[in-house]
Amino acid sequence: MLLWFVIIYWVVSVGIGLYAATRVHNTKDFAVAGRHLPFYMVTATVFATWFGSETVLGIPATFLKEGLHGVVADPFGSSLCLILVGLFFAAPLYRMNLLTIGDFYKKRFGRSVEVLTTLAIVISYLGWVGAQITALGLVFNVVSAGEISKLAGMWIGSGTILVYTLFGGMWAVAITDFLQMIIICVGMLYIGGSVSGMVGGVGAVIEHASAAGKFSFWPAFDPREMIGFFAAWITMMFGSIPQQDVFQRVQSSKTEKIAVWGSVLGGSLYFVFAFVPMFLAYSATLIDPQMVAELIDTDPQLILPRLVLEKAPLFAQVMFFGALLSAIKSCASATLLAPSVTFTENILKPMMADRLSDRKLLLTMRIVTFSFTVLVTLYAMASKASIFKMVENAYQITLVSAFVPLACGVYWRRATNQGALVSIFLGVSVWLSVLVGSPDDPFIPAQFAGLIASAIGMVIGSLARQFVHHDPHIHDQLRFGHRAAAAAETYHVAEHPHHH
């Protein structure tokens, strides 16, 4: 019965995604929904994109083993990332009216920086999408009681998501995300209610977890632990800011205000709802301690699905797996679309003929989306990492290469093309050398060392003698538009005549 419900739900949502394809007429519709999304849809798509398999399966598994201390990267880091994007980056980036985050790097720092950051961003998606596809394989395997193998489940999942993402682009992602957000919220709350009924209420679970020391969050007063804790926090918090999927949600908004507050509200909702699966997984230790003991060291990601299958009534099972599949699909469709769009726009388009028609560009975006899906599914099949680790590792690349150029590009007028290149080069080299050359548990984690090197590189490269061409007025033009930039320049000359 459960499998049939899942199949029907799956078919309906693919149908809705294909219906959305009727709204796609050009690349702008495909990439940023023609910049038409209202507030409730932006909030929903921010929330649903981030509420993925790691939120339902990965975070609770890590929480059971390590407590709150273990989940500092996600949900603490990731929800703060969305709030920071809303408060500090949404408005300036929205005003620039760009199609991809790579366009920002091109306009601010030139073609070389655009290519390097775009490649880093595209590579970082392998881990994130890989995690969703791994989870789809897991869900199909569990729901079919082993009839569908994990590998077959991965191909079924990625194939069907590909269908509507390929045709509907950002419109399909936004409309399906809105419905999936409702299903996630209702499903999670319903399951929360029925599980807390089995254990004597929410209070009983919280008391038990507190007594077991699961709520200790801050690290011990020890330099190594504190640095490790901080590094885990900033990996998601800063590493996911220069990401195409976050940027796409900002650019798809109807107005600047929607871009700002949609991100802030979506991030806040994500933070609140991420605790429901943790509550459910911890309840499992009270309801069926034997099953938890069996799975905690072998495959803790299975604890929550097993609890629901063995202890909950059919309706609750349908609600849970509906919510879980919604979470994975909304996340996977967005993360297939984002790297494909940015790779086409920032790497392929400049290499192709100058007069590439919009129709041909749209076709190219679809071909790249297809190729990326196949590549990621193969990667997910080969990867042995847990869902949580796959997601956490994905952001290290963008943290050490793309975050500093983005933040300085928006907020530091004196950041130059040379500064950005030195920043990327130093960030990536230090990160890789610590990752490859150091012991398993270095005093300063690789991604944190890379971030520091990247910041130093930006400052030194921008303030040193310039060997790479740079237009000093470009920051003001991007940030404030041409007129305001001219006014800023006049003011600057009047204030500092000896510089000119």
Give the tens place of pLDDT for each residue, 430-440: 999 998 887 67
Give the pLDDT score at 483: 55
- In the structure encoding, which two tokens stand for residue 400, read together? 């050490």
What mean pLDDT is reported for the chain?
A: 88
**Contact of 457 with 425, CB cutoff 8 Å:** yes
Q: Which residues face 253 on adjacent strands?
A: 37
SS (H, E, C) the chain: CHHHHHHHHHHHHHHHHHHHHHHCCCHHHHHHHHHCECHHHHHHHHHHHHCCHHHHHHHHHHHHHHCHHHHHHHHHHHHHHHHHHHHHHHHHHHHCCCCCHHHHHHHHHCHHHHHHHHHHHHHHHHHHHHHHHHHHHHHHHHHCCCCCCHHHHHHHHHHHHHHHHHHHHHHHHHHHHHHHHHHHHHHHHHHHHHHHHHHCCHHHHHHHHHHCCCCCCCCCCCHHHHHHHHHHHHHHHHHCCCCHHHHHHHHHECCHHHHHHHHHHHHHHHHHHCHHHHHHHHHHHHHCHHHHHHHCCCCHHHHHHHHHHHHCCHHHHHHHHHHHHHHHHHHHHHHHHHHHHHHHHHHHHHHCCCCCCHHHHHHHHHHHHHHHHHHHHHHHHHCCCCHHHHHHHHHHHHHHHCHHHHHHHHHCCCCCHHHHHHHHHHHHHHHHHHHHHCCCCCCCCHHHHHHHHHHHHHHHHHHCCCCCCCCCCHHHHHHHHHHHHHHHHHHHHHHCHHHC
**Contact of 473 with 489, CB cutoff 8 Å:** yes
Give the pLDDT score at 495: 52
pLDDT tens string 210-266? 999 999 999 888 999 999 999 989 998 999 999 988 899 999 999 999 999 999 999
Banded model confidence at residue 498, pLDDT cuts 50, 70, 90: low
Average pLDDT for 406-415: 94
Give the pLDDT score at 500: 47
Name the phi and psi angles at 273, rounded to 5. -75, -20
pLDDT at 39 over 80: yes
pLDDT tens string 332-361? 888 888 899 999 999 999 888 667 788 898
Give the pLDDT score at 487: 54
pLDDT tens string 48-72? 888 888 888 889 988 998 999 988 8
Average pLDDT for 405-419: 95
Banded model confidence at residue 272, pLDDT cuts 50, 70, 90: very high
Average pLDDT for 192-219: 90
Give the pLDDT score at 145: 86
Highest mean pLDDT among 30-44, 77-91, 151-165: 77-91
Determine the Cα–Cα distance for residues 394 and 382; give it in Å rounded to an integer.
Answer: 16
Average pLDDT for 37-41: 94
Name the phi and psi angles at 253, rounded to 5. -65, 150
pTM of the full predicted structure?
A: 0.87
Determine the Cα–Cα distance for residues 430 and 461; give it in Å rounded to an integer.
Answer: 16
- In the structure encoding, which two tokens stand for residue 115, read together? 């290519």
Give the pLDDT score at 497: 53
Share of the chain above pLDDT 90, in %: 42
